[in-house]
Amino acid sequence: MEFTLTDEQTMFQETVRNWVEKECNKDASRDYEAQEFEYPFELWDKMSDAGFHAIGLPPELGGQGGDVVTQMILTRELARSLAGLTWIFGISSFCAKSINKFATDVAREELIPQLAEGKIRVAIAVTEPSGGTDLMGAMKTRATKVDGGWSITGQKIWSTAAHVSDYLFLMARTEDIADKPARGVTLFLVKNPAEGLECHQIPKVGMRSVGSCEVFLDDVFVPDEYVVGQPGQGFYQMLSTLNNERIMVAALCTGIIDGCIEETLSYLIEREAFGKKIGSFQVWHQNLADMAMMQKQAELMTYYAAWKSESGEDCGREANMAKVVASEYAGKCSDIAIQVLGGMGYALETHPQRYWRDSRLYRIGPITNEMARNSIAETFGLPRSF
């Protein structure tokens, strides 16, 4: 078995790390995140110039190619500094993969080159206020067929960066099937701005400047060519790309763990108390060892899930496992880092508090860790628990 990156992947990792130190080091990332309702357009443009948005997209449409492991290397290296702000890259990257796989030729050939260049952004608009994880059972947003397209009315919530995105990757019910709520929903690319469409940001604990929105739709028109995939099969189509999102979250959380270890080590080496460096205290030896073990577990599970996804195998179990493990360890490691820094760990000028606030979200979304555990158990043949 092979557990090392290829020479090409190692070179790419080093290139990204150097870019991060130059363009968005931890201090710059802290300042970006502190601007609660100001989206970091400058950071987006820097990523565009670096070609990051093109990774994983087909070269014939302006992409750079690249496998899933390479995508996760990028995500991890960005998150080591950016933490949750990495998602300004991740959201459009995930949507681009779905558009490339399922959208009409018209939409695909129009949008993929622009996504690869970073000229447009796409936000996911799937979750509903009354539903949360019960996505299909609570789906009230409805799309009705009209001449030349569809008219959509409803409401979405927790749509990341919807307020600054050019399109919403939106799911709506198009048919009522009582015994099969997962059927009868369709994916759409909704142009933003559009008549009848409104977005409002939600104040929140972490990931502040990336923006999370409520979305309101009142008879918003979407042309037929912006239906993604087969009408009525939207949920099943999205399932095939959701694993990519979960592995990306695992890579992001692994990057947060990397950042926490760096901050912890730096403070243990520099800080003195009781006449000696605090790095000589046994309690912090054991905490750092725990962090290192959590880091390695998250890393191995993330890259294994990415490798399995790239090989074309079913990686649903592994994607969920990696997401759960990495998100929970990111929370634990950021908490340890705050404890090591003591009072300064609670100060907004230091970095562990940002990792701590951002990582808390990833135990909730894009799927709660409780639901992910249910899905893992079902792969062993247990009956559905909800």
pLDDT of res. 188: 97
Over residues 309-349, the pLDDT tens digits come to 999 889 999 999 999 999 999 999 999 999 999 999 999 99
Could you tell me where in the chain the CATH 1.20.140.10 domains are found? 236-378
Average pLDDT (202-224) is 95
CATH architecture of 236-378: Up-down Bundle (1.20)
The top-level CATH class assigned to 7-120 is mainly alpha
Could you tell me where in the chain the CATH 2.40.110.10 domains are found? 123-232
Looking at every residue in the chain, the average pLDDT score rounds to 94
Under the banding of pLDDT at 50, 70 and 90, the label for residue 177 is confident
Average pLDDT (244-266) is 97
- Please indicate whether residue 218 or residue 67 has the higher confidence score (pLDDT): 218
Mean pLDDT is lowest, of 21-35, 74-88, 165-179, 366-380, for 165-179
Could you tell me where in the chain the CATH 1.10.540.10 domains are found? 7-120
CATH 2.40.110.10 fits 123-232, yes or no: yes
Average pLDDT (36-65) is 94
The answer on pLDDT for 131 being more than 90 is no
The answer on pLDDT for 1 being more than 80 is no
pLDDT of res. 99: 93
Q: What is the 3-state secondary structure (H, E, C) of the chain?
A: CCCCCCHHHHHHHHHHHHHHHHHCCHHHHHHHHHCCCCCCHHHHHHHHHHCHHHECCCHHHCCCECCHHHHHHHHHHHHHHHHHHHHHHHHHHHHHHHHHHHECHHHHHHHHHHHHHCCCCEEEECCCCCCCCCCCCCCCCEEEEECCEEEEEEEEEEEECHHHCCEEEEEEECCCCCCCCCCCEEEEEEECCCCCEEEEECCCCCCCCCCEEEEEEEEEEEEHHHEECCCCEHHHHHHHHHHHHHHHHHHHHHHHHHHHHHHHHHHHHHCEECCEEHHHCHHHHHHHHHHHHHHHHHHHHHHHHHHHHHCCCCCHHHHHHHHHHHHHHHHHHHHHHHHHHHHHHHCCCCCHHHHHHHHHHCCCCCCCHHHHHHHHHHCCCCCCCC
